[in-house]
A and B are shown apart, each in its own frame.
Chain A
């Protein structure tokens, strides 16, 4: 699989009244063609800032620090002038935002909105665009009789399908989905995820899928990266990370999942609170809550290192040289 996206040294900071915080801290990631990379993180992990940074939609008081690279098909999007970005969004990289209700214009029928996404890039005339828009709506499972409906006339699942249609309509190189199923009922969640899997097969979609829900991500992603306090702390092939989590944080995430089948185990939880980016510990960010912390973890800040081919973890438990 050839590499489509390569991000190196991404840092995004916010200026706050209490000083500067680094919401995304030295993040490297890559997405292959036809691959789905899942990014898992809880509140304060920086996943939304990461998505916003990749779309280059970070606004003051936030900014992306110089020195990072975002190579999409070999072209560094961070080097493009800001004015060039609107033309790239939707065409090079498209976003499926968190709330479909807020992403849609309430006073325009959905087929016209999807068509607008095409004409905005000057790719087709109005009639041709509307025709393409309707084809995409059918592709995502909206029957023709609902194409001219307004967003409020559709269910949450249907609206999410429209937003997905809008994201793929210009055949972007990369789709970024931010919590595409959160807030939907479980039956609908399952259907939307099935749709994303189907689209991945039929269109060999390349995608970054961001979620707080590890099982969801494991189901449909090829690889996953786990974020904590702005950093990626573990990454690897999705099933492997899920079945054999290495980082103590990932382990708790796996053991906190209630299961409907199999033996009923006690659900784990993490003591303490999500990290406060203003007051990060001097050693490992997870050390204050870590059930497996070593003495060195208070002082040594572990880097993300390869421990097996394709498997990286930022934890002293697996770094022989740093521990000595």
Chain B
């Protein structure tokens, strides 16, 4: 990963798009302060994160939470649902026992694990994949973080359950003003959820802009290729494509992205590459 710059405003959902090996997860880990070798600057609520001591980081992490891709791996198999959700509050010394219990119940209700009494005493192996991911989301929400980093949180779920999780995230953003970094390889999914998208390729950001603008008017050859693949995989459209125009692109929080140039309001692209075909892809995954 090199020269990656972006910002997330309170209550904003930024989609980080890219294929396997493009560096998406590394970005999330760096934001959490988990990449010791990272250089540059990560400012969270005005505070520099890079170089913080483990102890100071732990404090910051109360306001910052991760939701992982695999709900089968991310929940402790020996803990019950209410213990899993409560654990972070205990670690951060939040509230008394009654207060924590109320917060756990509220979080479980918010993610739709009802009737709550049916779920609190259960172990992860007694839950379906969709229910597990809801527990993981409840765990992230219970401390009312300012920023949630969600790493492909729905890619392992059935399509019919995916939108349920997305609705929970969206509603939580709307009611709590939480910011989200939503990592996905699925541009169509990002279109439904994200205010802006950042496209990663070979460890760098190649395009960044309001979601509708990027989808309607992709500028970087890699974004174009990605979009073409998504359209090819999409269901055939009976009524012909209805392309949104780029003037629908909303005003967004400006981000000065290094190496990127602003070509439309809030729409950045790695310009020197704009008209060059992708010959040698710098990813680990070399296809044809």
Contact = CB atoms under 8 A, between A and B. Distances in A.
B91 interface: no
B110 to A, nearest CB: 16
B226 A186 contact: yes
Nearest to B19: A185
Interface string B197-234: 00000000000000000010000000001111111111
A185 B185 contact: yes
Interface in A247-306: 249, 252-254, 256-264, 266-271, 273-274
Interface in A138-154: 141
Contacts of B233: 186, 189-190, 193, 215-216, 219
Given A141-B288, A215-B234, A257-B235, A186 B186 contact: yes
A273 B20 CA distance: 29
A248 to B, nearest CB: 11
A256 B159 contact: yes
Contacts of A187: 19, 225-226, 229, 287
A260 B234 contact: yes
A213 B159 contact: yes
Interface core residue of B188, B192, B215, B235 (most chain A CB under 10 Å): B235
A197 to B, nearest CB: 11
A191 B233 CA distance: 10
Nearest to A158: B287
A219 B167 CA distance: 27
Given A141-B288, A185-B19, A262-B242, A273 B234 contact: no
Nearest to B225: A187
Q: Is the interface of B mostly helix, strand, loop or mixed?
A: helix
Contacts of B189: 258
Contacts of A212: 158-159
Contact of A253 (B131, B159, B288): B159
Contacts of A141: 288
A259 B234 contact: yes
B166 interface: yes
B54 to A, nearest CB: 35
Interface residues of B, number: 45
Contact of A267 (B163, B226, B238, B285): B163
Contacts, number: 133
Interface string A186-221: 111111011000000000000000001111101100
A261 B160 contact: no
Contacts of B167: 267, 269
B19 A273 contact: no
B236 A42 contact: no
A158 B159 CA distance: 27
A218 B286 CA distance: 28
A186 B159 CA distance: 16
Given A155-B286, A214-B159, A216-B233, A243 B130 contact: no
Contacts of B285: 155-157, 185, 188
A261 B243 contact: yes
Nearest to B231: A260
Contacts of B230: 186, 260
A263 B243 CA distance: 9
A78 interface: no
A311 B159 CA distance: 24
B80 to A, nearest CB: 18
B235 A258 contact: no
B269 to A, nearest CB: 18
A270 B161 contact: yes
A273 B192 contact: no
A273 B235 contact: no
B164 interface: yes
Contacts of A56: none
B129 interface: yes
Contacts of A267: 162-163, 166-167, 192
Nearest to A45: B158
Given A215-B235, A268-B163, A261 B241 contact: yes
Given A215-B233, A239-B236, A270 B160 contact: yes
A194 to B, nearest CB: 8
A141 B288 CA distance: 8
Given A219-B235, A269-B161, A273-B128, A190 B191 contact: no
A152 to B, nearest CB: 12
B237 interface: yes
A219 B19 CA distance: 22
B28 interface: no
Given A141-B288, A155-B287, A258-B191, A243 B243 contact: no
Nearest to A41: B158
A10 to B, nearest CB: 23
A289 B229 CA distance: 33
B219 to A, nearest CB: 16
Contacts of A190: 228-229, 232-233
B212 to A, nearest CB: 8
Interface of B: 19-20, 128-131, 158-164, 166-167, 185-189, 191-192, 215, 225-239, 241-243, 285-288
Given A141-B288, A187-B287, A268-B160, 7 more contacts: A157-B288, A190-B232, A191-B287, A258-B188, A261-B242, A262-B237, A267-B162
